[in-house]
Amino acid sequence: MKNQKLVVIGAAETTSLGDIPHLSQVQLHADGALNALADAGLKISDVDGIATAGENPITIAQYLGIHPEWIDGTSVGGCSFMMHIRHSLSAITSGLCKTILITHGESGKSRIPPPEWPWPPRPGSYEGQFEAPFGTMGPPDLLTIPFLRYMEDYNITVEDLAMVPVIQREWAALNPKAWFKEPITVQDVLDSKMIAYPFTLFMCCPRTDGGGALVITTEERAKDLPGKEVYVLGAGESGETMLISQMQDFTTSRAFKTSANRAFLEAGIEREDVDHLMLYDAFAHLPIYGLEDLGFCERGEAPNFIRDRNTAPGGRLPVNTNGGGLSYMHSGMYGMYAMQESIRQVRKVAAAQVPDVKISVAHGIGGMFSASGTVIFSNQPN
Amino acid sequence: MHPTSDKFIPFITPETRHFWEGTKLGELRIQKCDSCGHKYFPPRPFCPKCSSKDISLVLCSGEAKLYSYVISHLPAPGFKPPFSIAVVELLEGPRLMSNVIGCPQTPSSLLLDMPLAVVYEKLSDEIILPLFKPTEKIV
């Protein structure tokens, strides 16, 4: 891996984001894919590897007209696309294929067609036997369960939690493509509809339509292409449990820590080398876990770090600069959008561009703290 | 199977049968590894720590404490929101998901670490669900 550098040579989202009632989910994949290939300066016939989640990769390959020699259908939730990058690294460096297309598309709002996930689970699965009978309906009442334990152990208030969407909305206000752009206050967050105590509506992501795609190849091949190459310095992945009740410690994610540590190890960089950070935020507590489990804050310190505006516009570690899943968009599997913003930042074309970004980290969650993927991007080969 | 509840009805698998047969008898059963001593849930016929197949059933005391929860305001079949979705820690060690019933479904009545005891609710002829209620009077 070290002698053959991998780059993202094409990156794009769907032509529009948010409310797309005229496109089906598979067409969202295709729209993002064709935009990413145009960005790279490549044609469908140049692609010999396909990776996707949420749809069968063969469905996408056939729809686009790709005859793949390498296929990755890893589908473990919203961080799957981070894992696809990591798997692409090993595939390309070992000669299994040359140019990989990673696609995402999700009709999260318009539901064309309606998704099978998340409810009901299969009645004979662990989730069906040991969660669903207790009234669990999906991420808003499952992924949120650990946070009261965190609040109790670290003496954190609901006002602290409400600061996460407040500050991310400040970033969203700088991004014309964000779904929500109006400023909000802590009181607005606390006064919004209760979803699953302690989580109110503004602490939960919207469901929108969209997609995006990435084109991965070698540095050598990218030299002749018009796309602006972004180096993948390292990546990590891990998993813990499909049952939130079996998460080892409700105040920290083992999957987050393993995935991030592996990515930093592979990249050979330190936390202080990171200029920009994307932390998958389907719900307001996830950036808190992310900051701590990735090693940017001590345990229990992330709420103070956020309140002190370190992650806000002008702060020393800008986080979720597109507005995050809470304000920018969230189709259901947000990982692709987190990476797209990291890539825009290192290419210096983001709406809320952070000055002097060299290294950006995109960190994702899959399922209910089930899985995790981390990718470290840079505009320099390191 | 004749459901007597609108709640989601589990499908019993061979590896979980002992658990659901237990709750029908008013017993909360977990498993213990006879090689390394690890007590675990959810069910499987080998130890998730050391892979030993040398395991036995443990009859739990039914005592637990409240580890974490949400109070769901979302519609769910068989439930009248708001209702708690809780993770409880059994006296014997393992954690499991349940509902805390028999007290107001409010943050001031649902205190972390408060003591709980198992109670049972019939969902169908096959499925009896373990729920938990506070064992001390909640102010």
- Which CATH number do you get for residue A248? 3.40.47.10
Interface contact B112-A148, CB threshold 8 A: yes
Task: Check residue A118 and give its pLDDT.
Answer: 76
Nearest to A10 by CA among A216, A211, A278, A210: A216
Q: Which residue has the tokens 């599997």?
A: A333
A177 within some domain: no
- Please give the full DSSP string across A139-157, using - where no structure is assigned: HHHHTTTTHHHHHHHHT--
Q: Quick one: how many helices (H) and strands (E) in chain A? A: 14, 11
- CA–CA min distance A7, chain B (Å): 39
Interface contact B85-A134, CB threshold 8 A: yes
User: Which residues in chain A are closer than 8 Å to B107, comparing Cβ atoms?
Assistant: 197-198
**Closest CB to B42 among A137, A149, A243:** A243
User: Which residues in chain A are closer than 8 Å to B79, comparing Cβ atoms?
Assistant: 135
Are the beta carbons of A19 and A206 closer than 8 angstroms? Answer: no
Angle between helices A335-347 and A80-93 (to 10 degrees): 60
What is the C-alpha separation between A284 and A221, in angstroms, rounded? Answer: 40
Burial B6-43 (b: 16+ CB within 10 A, else e): ebbbbebbeebebbbebbeeebbbbbbbeeeebbbbbb
Are the beta carbons of A9 and A226 closer than 8 angstroms? Answer: no
Alpha helices in A178-309 (DSSP H): 186-191, 219-222, 254-267, 286-293, 302-307
**Closest CB to A135 among B72, B96, B123:** B72
Per the structure, the complete domain to which residue B113 belongs is given by 14-134
Q: What is the DSSP letter of A279?
A: E
pLDDT tens string, chain A, 382 residues long: the values are 455 789 999 999 999 999 999 999 999 999 999 999 999 999 999 999 999 999 999 999 999 999 999 999 999 999 999 999 999 999 999 999 999 999 999 999 999 998 877 788 999 999 999 999 999 999 999 999 999 999 999 999 999 999 999 999 999 999 999 999 999 999 999 999 999 999 999 999 999 999 999 999 999 999 999 889 999 999 999 999 999 999 999 999 999 999 999 999 999 999 999 999 999 999 999 999 999 999 999 999 999 999 999 999 999 999 999 999 999 999 999 999 999 999 999 999 999 999 999 999 999 999 999 999 999 999 999 7
Interface contact B68-A135, CB threshold 8 A: no
Bond before A176 cis per omega within 30 degrees: no
Bond before B43 cis per omega within 30 degrees: no
B11-B79-B26 Cα angle (round to 5): 55
Are the beta carbons of A118 and A139 closer than 8 angstroms? Answer: yes
Are the beta carbons of A133 and B96 closer than 8 angstroms? Answer: no
Q: CA-CA distances (angstroms) from residue A171 to A183, A278, A322?
A: 10, 12, 6
Please state, for a pLDDT cut of 70, what percent of chain B lies above it.
Answer: 96
Residue type (1 letter), A280: Y
Per the structure, the complete domain to which residue A303 belongs is given by 6-112+206-378
Would an 8 Å CB–CB cutoff place B97 in contact with chain A? yes
Compare all CA atoms of chain A with the CA of B69 and give the residue at the minimum distance: A145
Q: How many domains does chain A have?
A: 1
- CA–CA min distance B98, chain A (Å): 6
Interface contact A148-B70, CB threshold 8 A: yes
Q: How confident is the model at residue B78 (pLDDT cuts 50, 70, 90)?
A: very high
Q: How confident is the model at residue B139 (pLDDT cuts 50, 70, 90)?
A: very low
Q: How many domains does chain B have?
A: 1
> Taking the mean position of all CA atoms in its chain, how far away is CA A369?
13
Nearest to A229 by CA among A17, A2, A10: A10
Half-sphere exposure of B122 (CA within 13 A, CB side): 9
As for the ipTM of the complex, it is 0.96
**Closest CB to A133 among B82, B87, B123:** B123
Bond before A113 cis per omega within 30 degrees: yes
What is the C-alpha separation between B32 and B49, in angstroms, rounded? Answer: 11
Q: Quick one: how many helices (H) and strands (E) in chain B? A: 1, 8
Interface contact A243-B97, CB threshold 8 A: yes
What is the C-alpha separation between B42 and A107, in angstroms, rounded? Answer: 34
Which H or E element spans position A126? helix A126-130
- Give tens-digit pLDDT for A184-226: 999 999 999 999 999 999 999 999 999 999 999 999 999 999 8
A128 within some domain: no
Are the beta carbons of A132 and A120 closer than 8 angstroms? Answer: yes
Q: How many residues does chain A have?
A: 382
Q: CA-CA distances (angstroms) from residue A355 to A53, A92, A342, A347, A359?
A: 33, 32, 13, 11, 12
Q: Which residue has the tokens 């670490």?
A: B113
Between residues A329 and B3, which one has the greater pLDDT? Answer: A329
A152-A153-A155 Cα angle (round to 5): 60
What is the C-alpha separation between A374 and A267, in angstroms, rounded? Answer: 11
B44 within some domain: yes
A201 within some domain: no
- CA–CA min distance B109, chain A (Å): 13
Interface contact A149-B68, CB threshold 8 A: yes
Any bridge partners for residue B39, and if so which? Answer: B32
Intra-chain end-to-end CA distance of chain A, in Å: 13
A213 within some domain: yes
Any bridge partners for residue A214, and if so which? Answer: A11, A102
A166 within some domain: no
What is the C-alpha separation between B27 and B44, in angstroms, rounded? Answer: 18
Interface contact B70-A145, CB threshold 8 A: yes
Task: Check residue B3 and give its pLDDT.
Answer: 72
Interface contact B107-A197, CB threshold 8 A: yes
Task: Check residue A280 and give its pLDDT.
Answer: 98
Phi, psi for residue A182 in degrees, rounded to 5: -65, 135
What is the C-alpha separation between A146 and B42, in angstroms, rounded? Answer: 18
